[in-house]
Structure 1
Amino acid sequence: MSDMPAVPRSEGLRWLYLHGFASGPDSTKGVAVSRHFGARGVEVARLNLRVPTMEGLRLSAMLETVREAMGGEKERAVLLGSSLGGLVAAHTAAADARVSGLVLLAPAFQVVRQLRRRMGEAAWRLWEKQGWIETDDFAEKRKVRVHSGFIGDAEAVDGKFGGWPDVRVPTLVIHGRADDTCDIRYSRQWAEGKRNVKLVEVEDGHELVASLPRILAEAEEFLRPWGV
């Protein structure tokens, strides 16, 4: 923590939780985070990033939703993001000086590359050709067809800085070594050599549910300078 940049204390600091792909504001991690910090007098708003719709999901629309939720120019925010929400949080921090700190849970760095690897070339080409791909909607417990426009939009957004958001604020990254959705090596690569980034590796998969007590303890300690 001694290597971290100084954290300016701010009245009216906004705390926002950003869920992942095919998830929602009422995810297990989001609810656990808001309850934990709520018991300590900190209100964490859980944003809905299923925008503009789940079927028409766009990374650029997620970024705009977060920017609007941060309020006016003089507001400051702490962003806590999971998976794709972690990537959104990092990109927001790289572009918006109102973000003063980040907690990223299994962030989806290099999202298009990771999606393509996980899906396989045949499924990837099918997604591009037919214009949609069916996937699980974990928030609404149903199947959903996500439009292929997500690909080009994500490539345009994530292509900035070569797909590595240039974050300068204090950042805590927690990632599972057994994550088969968002490979931990990308978090390692992004965090390497950054004095403002603390990477905590846990023995867990992508969902990180088994690591929730550790996540909450690490996040609380890390965010103490912000008034927790």
Structure 2
Amino acid sequence: MTENLPRTYIYLHGFASSPNSFKANYLRDRFAEITLPLKIPNLNQGDFSHLTLTRQLEQVAREFPAKPATVTLIGSSFGGLTAAWLAEQSPQVDRLVLLAPAFEFLSHWMVSLGLKQMEFWQEEGYLPIYHYGEKREIPLSYQFITDAQNYIENQLQRQLPILILHGVKDEVIPVEASRRFAASRPWVKVVELDSDHGLGNVMPEIWEEIKGFCGI
């Protein structure tokens, strides 16, 4: 049984965020209070301009402990999408906690940017994106889009315990995206919260859900 194996907890921050985000710091502190280490890799790798989903997957996989130890991934937004794909690829991942995961994010993002800006991005190769961790705009390569298009979400079919926590007022990734993801996957539990994409006002509730789900 995996419950008796050593377990590593890894938190994956969101797009244009950092290991020093509010959620990352909050969860780091809560894990420290119960004397459990929480690994929080910097998914920017000092080169946000060339970020891709593939690069994140490869980076986080290198953080995994030696087998047969297991991994619980807690992912926020684009980090949540990354966590879902890591679980699909690695049997070491035996549990997922996804905070407002970025399911269907390409369709939502392309609509919000608009056709002209998308065409500009493709033609120029880079688009300035505000990076909340760096507090400045950083050009992001269009490769981010072409890489993400290779990941088809209906292929995420591995059956493992998955807890999704999503705000009903999410203005970035609508809660309907998580509802649709869970609808055909009975192993997924969705908890809807009175919050927006940041989930900042419900972190104590989220922590209680994480503790119960992970048995910590």
Normalising by the smaller structure, the TM-score range is over 0.9
Match of 2:141 in 1: 147
Choose which of 91, 95, 101 in structure 1 pairs with 2:95.
101
Identity of paired residues, percent? 30
Q: How far is 1:94 from its partner?
A: 1.0
Aligned to 1:122, the other structure's residue is in SS state helix
Q: How far is 1:193 from its partner?
A: 4.1
Task: Answer yes or no: is the 8 Å Cα contact 1:90–1:167 preserved in 2.
Answer: no
Aligned length: 216
Q: How far is 1:26 from its partner?
A: 1.1
RMSD: 1.5
Choose which of 53, 61, 83 in structure 2 pairs with 1:59.
53
Bigger Cα displacement from structure 2, 42-51 vs 97-106: 42-51
Q: Which runs of 4+ in 1 moved over 6 A?
A: none
Match of 2:36 in 1: 42
Choose which of 100, 104, 107 in structure 2 pairs with 1:110.
104
Task: Answer yes or no: is the 8 Å Cα contact 2:5–2:68 preserved in 1.
Answer: no
Match of 2:198 in 1: 207
Match of 1:123 in 2: 117
Unaligned runs of 5+ in 2: none
Give 2:164's aligned amino acid: V
Distance 1:110 1:147 in 2: 20
TM-score (norm 2): 0.95
TM-score (norm 1): 0.90
Match of 1:221 in 2: 212
Q: How far is 1:51 from its partner?
A: 4.1
Aligned to 2:59, the other structure's residue is in SS state helix
Unaligned runs of 5+ in 1: 1-6
Distance 2:110 2:172 in 1: 11
Higher relative contact order (CA 8 A, sep 6+): 1
Match of 1:3 in 2: none
